[in-house]
Amino acid sequence: MVSGAPDPQGCAQEARSLLSGRLPDEPLAAATRVKRILARSGFRDDALAFTLPDMLARRGGNCLGLTLFVGAALMEHGHDVRFALRLDPFDDVHDAGVERFQELCDPDGGVDEGSRLPGARDCTSRFRFVPVEHASLVLPGGQPFEPTGLGDPDADPEWAPDSEAVREVDFARIATMVLSERAKSAAREGAVRPALRLLLRALRAWPGNREALGEMWRVARACRRDRLASAAAIAYVDIGGDDSLYWYTRYLMTGDEACLAGALERLPSYAEAYLDQHVRLPLTRGSEEPGALRRHLAIVAWMIAESEILDLEQLYRRDARLFASVFSQRQLETVLASFAGSGRDVPRSQR
């Protein structure tokens, strides 16, 4: 029902048809069985698929979709499971991003004020450079289980990375994340009213859905619903947190530079926070040399070019005046022209 399927019962029936027979009585064995069945059925990790109809159509799912699928299958067979939401997991992609960020910022061999801006051919999906929320299962006794990694038979499903923050939730609460993710997609497409309706559904079901509140604040501001935006910001702050996403969102809400510093202290390679700290704020004060601004802006552009989540063309178009003023209009037009016919998805999913 949260997935927006035109025929929820038919969609559920199709999903159930993938699983035949009784699952094992031991929770880990049952979760492993479901994961193997999905892999044998041709399912693979898919960053764009998190609703059940999309997963069935695309034969894949991201961490949210696969976690809900495996968890629902286990619950339907009588197993007691919970779910974990890990903010900015310290996995291999995170560690590689930290190393790459250090390379970009290296004063000797990294990006300098004369470095070129990346174009479409420079775009990869190697790193993140933004905190993400990763969903996974928690089996009885606190045993972690990772439903992703369908195409990697050597992946350890019982491993869970450390992260900036972890919230353990039940099925009903994690299901609201589907609503908030659908709202983000609707907002990106300019469908503001449907996005607000989805966010209200998510928050009625789980008032503590912090990321839904953050998205509510952004969407309400975009459509000039000031009272709604203010209420969402107050509720967001009341929930609290001590992770990079929380502090950066608080900075956007309040303009308090201490919050921006808090975000970068926890995740120095947070691309958007880096952009605000090293480019936007100095520009408003006139306190940075042009060469330093070009260097910092080029570092941000390379981070986003190599992110599996953020989109470089979107950055250039959103901050066109900024790039044209720090580099030149001609340089901006050159890199934008490189995206013509590139066939790149804009924007990409944040999970």
Render pLDDT for 109-136 as a digit per residue (tens, 0 to 9): 999 999 999 999 999 999 999 999 999 9
Can you give the pLDDT at residue 286?
86
Q: Is 176 within 8 Å of 144 (Cβ atoms)? A: no
Provide the domain count of the chain: 2
Residue 28 lies in a domain: yes
pLDDT recorded at residue 343: 54
Q: Is residue 3 part of a domain?
A: no
Domain assignment present for residue 172? The answer is yes
pTM of the model: 0.91
Distances (CA, A) of 16 to 22, 52, 196: 12, 11, 31
- Report the Cα 34 to chain-centroid distance in Å: 25
286 and 188, same structural domain?
Answer: no
Q: Are residues 122 and 136 in the same domain?
A: no
Residue 153 — very low, low, confident or very high, per pLDDT cuts 50/70/90? confident
Residue 312: predicted pLDDT: 97
Does 188 share its domain with 206?
Answer: yes
Whether 1 maps to a domain, the answer reads: no
> Exposed, middle or buried: residue 246 (CB in 10 Å: 0-12, 13-18, 19+)?
buried
One domain, residues 251 and 320: yes
Assess contact for 251 and 261: CB atoms under 8 A.
Answer: no
Residues 263 and 286 in one domain: yes
Assess whether 212 and 274 both reside in one domain.
Answer: no
Q: Which domain holds residue 112?
A: 98-127+243-337
Confidence at residue 347, expressed as pLDDT on a 0 to 100 scale: 42
Average pLDDT over residues 203-208: 96
Three-state DSSP at 114 gives: coil
The two structure tokens encoding residue 24: 């094992």
How far apart are the two ends of the chain, measured CA to CA in Å?
21
Share of the chain above pLDDT 90, in %: 91
Residue 342 has pLDDT above 80, yes or no: no
Out of 200, 226, 252, a domain closes at 226
pLDDT cut 70: percent of the chain above it = 97
Domain membership flag for residue 112: yes
The verdict on 104 and 137 lying in the same domain is no
Structural domain includes residue 41: yes
Rounded (5°) CA angle 141-142-144? 125
Residue 71 lies in a domain: yes
Same domain, yes or no, for 151 and 211?
yes
153 plus 61 within the same structural domain: yes
Is residue 346 over pLDDT 70?
no
Could you tell me if 45 and 162 lie in one domain? Answer: yes
Residues 177 and 86 in one domain: yes
Residue 287: exposure state from Cβ atoms within 10 A (0-12, 13-18, ≥19): exposed
Please tell me whether residues 35 and 163 are part of one structural domain: yes
How many Cα neighbours within 13 Å face the side chain of 126?
Answer: 14
pLDDT of residue 192: 94
Q: What is the pLDDT of residues 19-46, one digit of tens each?
A: 988 899 999 999 999 999 999 999 999 9
146 found inside a domain:
yes
